[in-house]
Structure 1
C-alpha cells in the first residue's frame, strides 16, 4: 500500500503556532505556580512537579514502585520531601489513575490503594483532582501541537465539534471531549466502553471471537485490543490446522507483545505481521464506531504506548481501513471519510492533561 498522505499546510502552520507558543512559554513559564501531577498505575506511580499552564513545563519527576508502598498518601508524602520539590510548594494537584473514578475518588482494581481526592486536599491544603487516566489524556489533547501527532485521515478538524481519544496499552482506554459553552473549553467525559462486546468483521475476526469466547466465555473489545490482546491474536493465528498452514510447524511458540511488534516491524515473522495488522484493524474499527457515536468531527486521537511504536505498520493502512468501514453503509462510511484520525506521539500527553486540569483548579481557587 502507498504511504498515507500528510497535510503539509496544517503541519507548517502548526509549526509556526508551536514556535509562537514556545516563545510565550519561555517568557511566562517561570512566573507560573507549581502543580503536582501524577500518573498512577498498578505497577508504578509516577509523580511530577510542573509549572502550571495549558501545556506547562515539567520541573522534576520520580517513579515509585507501588509494591514498595502501602498507600498512595505515603508516596505523595515522600515525593514532597524531594529537595527539587520542597522548594516549589504545589498550589494544586491532579492525579490520573487507571481505574473508574467516582466522587473524586478511585479504589484501584489491581492493588489495594485508594486515591482519595477530598482526603488528600484536606491533608495538603490544596485543591486535588482525581482523573481516569484517559480523562487526563483528553484534557491534554487541546494543548498538543502538530509535532505531537501524526495524521492518519488528514481532513480538517471542525471547530468545537466532539473529539474522541482512545488507545491500547495494558488495557484499552477511551474518553470523549465535548465543547462546554459556559467554560469556553472542552470538557472530558471518561467511559468504560472498551468492556463492551467485541464486534468482529469478516470470517477471520469471527473465528478470533469464537477462540476467545471458548477460553473466557466472553470476548470484550479490550481483550483483543491491548497488549495482551495482541498476544492473544498471535496465539489464535497459530491455532490453524498445520495441514492448512505448514509454516505453523515452525511458528508454534508464545511471544510477548513487544516481541510480536518488533518481529512485525522487521518482517522476520509473517505471522507477527498478520497479528499486528489484525490488531490495528480492530482498533481502527472501534475508533470508527466511537467517532459515529458522537460524530467526532473534531478528530479521533489514538493514544497509549503501543500505537506510536507501530507507525511503520500503521502507514500500511490497517488502522485506517478498520476506521473507514468501507463495507458498512455508504452514508456512514462517508461520515468517517470526513472525520480526522490521528496518532498521538507525545508520550507525556496524560501528564500534560493532568497539568492542564490542575491549572483549572488553580483558577477556581482565584
Structure 2
C-alpha cells in the first residue's frame, strides 16, 4: 500500500480495529474527576467506538500531589483489569497552563504533563478547563444544546464558546483542514474593559469601579458579577428609577461608606438570586435580566471578532439554570441589538446561538483531545514505518 498523505495513513491505521485506552480528567480546587475510556478504531469514515470503563471523583485534600491522586486511580481494580494499554491522558485544569504545566490556584498541586509522562509512561496533555470545553463543543449532539436562533451552522466555519461560572471563560475554534477538525484557541478576553449599554449599565460600571478599581467584563459576567449586579440594584433606588441625567452623577448617587466605597446592601449569593428570579422576585429578576443582557452582548462581540457562522455557544453552570428567563428573549435581543449594532445585525442573525446544557462538556473535550493525541501517535508511527519513497510521494 502506498501511503502518500496523512489522511491515507490514518485511514489505513483505522482498518486494524486497534483498541487502546485513554484517561480523562477534570481537576478543580476541591475535586479531581478521572475517567478511563476504551476506544476501538471503527474503520475509514467512521468514528471510533468509545466506552467509559470506569470513573471516580477524588477529594483533592486527600492527596499531597496530583501524582498521588493519579496513582490511586491507576491502582483501582477496574483500571488495572483493563486489557488495553493506556496511550494518553488529557487533563482539564482550573488554572493558567503554560508549557503543559499548571500550578493550581486554590491548592498546592502543580500538574506537569512532562513529569507525569515520565512517571507513568503515557502521553499527558494539560489543558485549561475552558480549552477543554472548546474541544468538547464539536462532539455535542442536538440533545446537549438549546438553540436560540434558527440560523444553521456553517460547516468548517469558526465557532466561539463562552461560559460564565466562577469566572468567565472564552475560546475560539478554527477549522484545521490538515487534521480535519477544530483547533481551540483559548483567550483572556474576559479581562477586557466592560462596555456598558444604557444609563443603568453605565451606573453599574461606576459602582463596580468604585469597589474594585476597574470594571472588566468578567466582573459583571460571572457568578460574582450577578451578586454585584444585585447589590448595585439594592444600593440606591435611583438606579432602578428614571434615567440618570448625567454620567458624572453616577458615582455621587452610589451610597458611600467611610472608606469611600459603595455599600453592598443585602448581600446574596448567585444561587439565591437565581432561585428567587425563577420564583418571580422582582429585584432578582431584574438582576438576572441585566446579567443575561451583558452575556448576550459579549457573545455578540465575540461572534463578530471571528465571524462565528459555525455557532456561538454559551456554556458554564449559570445560564442553563436560567432558561426560563433566557426564553423571554433578553439574551438574544442583546446579542443582536439593533440599536447598538445597526450595521451588523444582519450579520449576527446569520450566526447560530446556543446554550450548552450538558454539564460534562469539559470532560467530553478532554476525551476528544486525548483521542487526538492517540491519532497523532499512530500517524507518527506510520510515517516512521513507511518506506521513505512511499511517504513522500
* Pair in the same fold by TM > 0.5: yes
Change over 3 Å in CA distance of 1:365–1:287 after alignment to 2 = same
Question: Which consecutive unaligned segments of at least 5 residues does structure 2 have?
Answer: 1-16, 40-46, 242-263, 379-393
Conserved in 2, the CA contact under 8 Å of 1:38 and 1:47? yes
Counterparts in 2 of 1:174-193, with a 5 A limit?
174-193=170-189
* Cα separation, 2, equivalents of 1:68 and 1:107: 18
Counterpart of 2:61 in structure 1 is 67
Counterpart of 1:77 in structure 2 is 71
Once the two structures are superposed, residues 246-281 of structure 1 have per-residue CA deviations (whole angstroms, 9 ceiling, x without a partner) of: xxxxx95222111111111111x2110011111111
Counterpart of 1:285 in structure 2 is 297
1:33 Cα shift?
2.3
TM-score (norm. length: structure 2)? 0.80
Deviates most, 41-50 or 279-288: 41-50
* Cα separation, 1, equivalents of 2:110 and 2:76: 23
Dislocated runs of 4+, deviation >3 Å:
52-57, 241-245
SS at match of 1:238: helix
Counterparts in 2 of 1:19-168, with a 5 A limit?
32-52=19-39, 56-88=50-82, 89-168=85-164
Change over 3 Å in CA distance of 1:55–1:304 after alignment to 2 = farther
1:272 aligns with 2:284: yes
Conserved in 1, the CA contact under 8 Å of 2:292 and 2:331? yes
Q: Which has the larger radius of gyration?
A: 2
Conserved in 1, the CA contact under 8 Å of 2:200 and 2:239? no
1:142 Cα shift?
1.1
Conserved in 2, the CA contact under 8 Å of 1:172 and 1:222? yes
Once the two structures are superposed, residues 301-345 of structure 1 have per-residue CA deviations (whole angstroms, 9 ceiling, x without a partner) of: 011111111111110111111211221232212111111100111
Conserved in 1, the CA contact under 8 Å of 2:234 and 2:265? yes
Counterpart of 1:305 in structure 2 is 317
What is the aligned-residue RMSD (CA, Å)? 2.0
Change over 3 Å in CA distance of 1:100–1:316 after alignment to 2 = same
SS at match of 1:99: coil
Once the two structures are superposed, residues 175-215 of structure 1 have per-residue CA deviations (whole angstroms, 9 ceiling, x without a partner) of: 11001111111111111111111111111111111111101
SS at match of 2:184: strand
Q: How many residues align structurally? A: 331
* Cα separation, 2, equivalents of 1:243 and 1:220: 20
Conserved in 2, the CA contact under 8 Å of 1:55 and 1:355? no
* Cα separation, 2, equivalents of 1:46 and 1:310: 26
1:244 Cα shift?
7.1
SS at match of 2:268: coil
* Cα separation, 1, equivalents of 2:282 and 2:268: 13
1:98 Cα shift?
1.5
Conserved in 1, the CA contact under 8 Å of 2:37 and 2:51? yes
Conserved in 2, the CA contact under 8 Å of 1:54 and 1:352? no
Match of 2:192 among 173, 193, 196: 196
Counterpart of 2:246 in structure 1 is none
* Cα separation, 2, equivalents of 1:92 and 1:126: 5
Once the two structures are superposed, residues 121-175 of structure 1 have per-residue CA deviations (whole angstroms, 9 ceiling, x without a partner) of: 1111111111111111111111111111000122011111100011111111111
SS at match of 2:179: coil
1:255 aligns with 2:268: yes
Conserved in 1, the CA contact under 8 Å of 2:90 and 2:126? yes
SS at match of 1:282: helix
Match of 1:346 among 318, 338, 358: 358
Conserved in 1, the CA contact under 8 Å of 2:37 and 2:50? yes
Match of 1:325 among 317, 321, 337: 337
